[in-house]
Amino acid sequence: MSDTDADADSTAAPNALRTPIVAVLGHVDHGKTTLLDTIRGSAVSEGEAGAITQHIGATAVPLETVSEMAGDLVDPTDFDLPGLLFIDTPGHHSFTTLRSRGGALADIAVVVVDVNDGFQPQTIEALEILQRTGTPFVVAANKIDTTPGWNPQEGMPIQVTYEKQSQNARSRLDENLYQIIGDLSDEGFSADLYWRVQNFTKNVGVVPLSAITSEGVPDLLAVLMGLSQRYMKEQMAVDVTGPGAGTVLEVKDERGFGATVDVVLYDGSVRAEDKIVVGGIDGPIVTEVRALLQPRPNAEIRVEKRFDKVEEVRAASGIKIAAPELDDAMAGAPIRVVRDRELNEVIEEVESELAEIQVSTEEEGVVVKADTLGSLEAMANALREAEVPILRAEVGDIAPRDIAVASTANEDKHRVILGFNVEVLSNAERELDESDVKLFDDDVIYQLIEEYEGYVDEIERAQQETVLDKIVRPCRFRILEDHVFRQSDPAVVGVEVLSGTIKNNQNVVKWDGNEATRVGQLSGIQEQGEDVSEARAGVRVSVAIDGPTVGRQIDEGDELWIELPEKHAKILEQELSDDIPADELEALTSYLDKHRKRDPFWGK
């Protein structure tokens, strides 16, 4: 910005139009950050954990840049808006934490969809959030350059590049595009290719593009500028001289400044030496601006190394604020300029917004630690969806008290700390090693939760196997004719296992009507002359039974059963019926039916 531009800006009318704030959403790997890289000419995505954006960056793209990229599609003289401010969200949950006085921070959204993969779970989730918040959006149908037979036309508008393609390539692309339009319809949105949309308030525009070759990117920028100019001009008119309001994106230590906050300012202005109130870990922080550091146009605030020191910044913009006592400020928290307002009134406003984004906890659950408020809420939402209860959720590195709290959990699966993008403090490492608390840490949220869910599955599987090992299993078997090897002390007979599992050292019963009579106890099982501990359905074995005499208590052709204690039968039916084989379940059901003819409540 030249000195002349700066002077002109400082004398702008109080109700000047602010820059529209654009959120970019979409499923993992569908190209959100790559698209922004193309627009801003950087490569932020290469430095992201797992190539997935984990924090929120703000990039100001001035009207001049938009016009350069869009070519003939955007004539800067047709627009009053200063350009576009892009917010790259780490996930849809974080999008919901970006609020402007209780509403969505973004004025408009871009939902990026891989034209080959189509709708995925996070695509649908993004649409649900946009519908709930009433945020208008367009769909960027990305990766058109991967269409078989595609002939790339770098940076060209979509209709120009489309005409350069073979009939086969066009047909394949058309098929994918109409699948996306159909999927939008299934989700309740009327949609079409953007140049066919007459009214963007009633229909969603689909913009085919490639973030890699920039084809169709001019169209996306033109649509975003046109939508903002035509439908949002009134809400873009703000008092740019009033006390500023914004959302903290990240807290960072900067050499020479100490703790600073990266902020998206969506209303009013902030000036050097303004008194501000910022949401902090222990409540609102009251401090004074020492320096305003503004990234250069098209630079992404998280990775920008050079900032211009300015005296005033007006909405909407991404700005770095240096001020004392910001160490405990939280990302995702509100920031307010006091100026001519009552300090207590501003503090109450920040407190009420902080209360809205507190994570709800339960008496039993896991401990969650994250590096920012936005990450913490994203984690909490993801865990809630996975039906994982949370005992404590806080911003900050893992400390001894976190281990102490986690160790009080009643269940192994809750004796856990989930750490997102945090460190274990040196004074907590030994305690963690010596405790029975399990730590999961990752810098990709969905991977962290998947790791934990795998751990819980292992625990539950082991517990079920332990229970099954200790519990008496149902079994029905028949004494074979002409297979009496010894009549008594013990009786040794050949049997066929009809259903279930026969095991050694278990009691044997014989049913007479509705009465079960114990006839003895298994003291040995042999299969083809070899001792075995058990045999499954369909197998013939010889068994030794202490107690009965063949010809008196038992006889050839008799059907015998393993005796089930009532408590074991109840556990099998109510807790383990999904974990035993079908034939064993059949034996259990028959056994219960026989008992319940005499006593309807047996085993319940």
92 with 203, same domain: the answer is yes
| Of 349 and 93, the one with more pLDDT | 349
User: Per residue in 285-342, pLDDT tens?
Assistant: 999 999 998 876 655 555 556 678 899 998 888 889 999 999 988 877 899 999 999 9
Residue 165 has pLDDT above 50, yes or no: yes
More confident residue, 503 or 43: 503
- pLDDT tier at 104, thresholds 50, 70, 90: low
Asked if 259 contacts 321 with a C-beta cutoff of 8 angstroms, the reply is no
Q: Supply the DSSP string of 156-225, one letter for each residue.
A: --HHHHHHTS-HHHHHHHHHHHHHHHHHHHHTT--EEEGGG-S-TTTSEEEEE--TTT-TTHHHHHHHHH
Examine the domain organization and report whether 164 and 22 are in the same domain.
Answer: yes
| One domain, residues 204 and 126 | yes
Identify which has the larger pLDDT, 193 or 19. Answer: 193
Domain limit, last residue, from 181, 216, 236: 236
| pLDDT confidence tier of residue 34, bands split at 50, 70 and 90 | confident
Q: What sign has the CA pseudo-torsion 37, 40, 43, 44?
A: negative
Residue 272 domain flag: yes
- pLDDT given at position 333: 85
CB-based contact 91:385 (threshold 8 Å): no
Mean pLDDT of the chain: 86
For the ranges 155-159, 207-211, 408-412, 574-578, the lowest mean pLDDT is seen at 574-578
Same domain, 165 and 291: no
Are residues 413 and 429 both part of a single domain? yes
Q: Give the tokens for residue 133.
A: 């918040």
Mean pLDDT of 347-357: 85
Look at residue 604 and tell me if it is in a domain.
no
User: Tell me: the pLDDT tens digits for 485-532?
Assistant: 999 999 999 999 999 989 999 999 999 887 889 999 999 999 998 999
**β-bridge pairing 491-503 and 534-536:** antiparallel
Q: What distance in Å separates the CA atoms of residue 351 and residue 264, rounded to the nearest whole number?
A: 19
31 by Cβ neighbours in 10 Å (0-12 / 13-18 / 19+) ranks as buried
Clarify whether residues 61 and 183 are in a common domain: yes
Q: Please tell me the predicted confidence (pLDDT) of residue 92.
A: 46
Q: What is the mean pLDDT of residues 21-47?
A: 72
Most confident segment among 192-196, 384-388, 514-518: 192-196
- Model confidence over 543-554: pLDDT tens digits? 999 999 999 999
- Domain CATH for 383: 3.40.50.10050
Residues in Cβ contact with 372 at an 8 Å cutoff, skipping those fewer than 6 apart: 55, 250, 251, 330, 331, 332, 395, 421
Task: Inform me whether the pLDDT recorded for 132 exceeds 80.
Answer: no
Select from 454, 469, 484 the last residue of a domain.
469
Which one has a higher pLDDT value, 61 or 587?
587
pLDDT band at residue 90 using 50, 70 and 90 as cut-offs: low
pLDDT at 25: 85
Residues in the chain: 604
For residue 486, CA distances in Å to 316, 483, 551 come to 94, 9, 11
Q: Are residues 50 and 143 in the same domain?
A: yes
In a domain, 11, yes or no: no
pLDDT band with cut points at 50, 70 and 90 for residue 122:
confident
Same domain membership, residue 198 and residue 82? yes
For residue 76, say if its preceding peptide bond is cis, omega within 30 degrees of 0.
no
- Indicate whether 361 belongs to any domain: no
Over residues 13-17, the mean pLDDT reads 63
Q: Is there a domain that residue 8 lies in? A: no
- Least confident residue range of 49-53, 447-451, 481-485: 49-53
pLDDT at 402: 95
What single letter denotes the amino acid at residue 353?
E
- Band the pLDDT of 99: cuts 50, 70, 90: low
Confidence bin at 222 (pLDDT 50/70/90): very high
Whether the predicted model's global pTM rises above the 0.85 cut: no
pLDDT in tens, 407-442: 999 999 999 999 988 899 999 999 999 999 999 998
- The number of folded domains in the chain is 4
Residue 59 lies in a domain: yes
Angle, in degrees to the nearest 10, between helices 445-470 and 373-385: 40
Of 469, 484, 515, the residue at which a domain comes to its end is 469
- Tell whether 426 and 502 lie within a shared domain: no
pLDDT given at position 4: 38
**Residue, of 255 and 341, whose pLDDT is higher:** 341
Q: Does residue 373 have a pLDDT over 80?
A: no
Q: What is the percentage of the chain residues whose pLDDT exceeds 70?
A: 89
DSSP state at residue 458: H
Residue 385: domain span? 366-469
On whether residue 106 sits in a domain, the answer given is yes
- CATH of residue 339: 2.40.30.10
At residue 363, φ and ψ (nearest 5 deg) are -75, -25
Considering the domain architecture, whether residues 72 and 203 belong to the same structural domain is answered as: yes
Specify whether 97 is located in the same domain as 206: yes
164, pLDDT greater than 90:
yes
Is residue 243 within 8 Å of 340, Cβ to Cβ?
yes
pLDDT band at 3 (very low <50, low <70, confident <90, very high): very low
Instruction: Please give the pLDDT value at position 100.
Output: 55
Residue 4 counted as domain residue? no
In this prediction, residues 378-389 reach a mean pLDDT of 86
**Average confidence (pLDDT) over 138-157:** 96
Contacts for 308-313: CB closer than 8 Å, 24+ residues apart: 310/272, 311/271, 311/272, 312/10, 312/269, 312/270, 312/271, 312/272, 313/244, 313/265, 313/269, 313/270
Q: What is the model's pLDDT at position 103? A: 55
State the average pLDDT over residues 228-240. Answer: 83
The CATH number of whichever domain residue 32 belongs to comes to 3.40.50.300
- The answer to whether 108 touches 226, Cβ cutoff 8 Å, is no
Same domain (yes/no): 351, 370: no
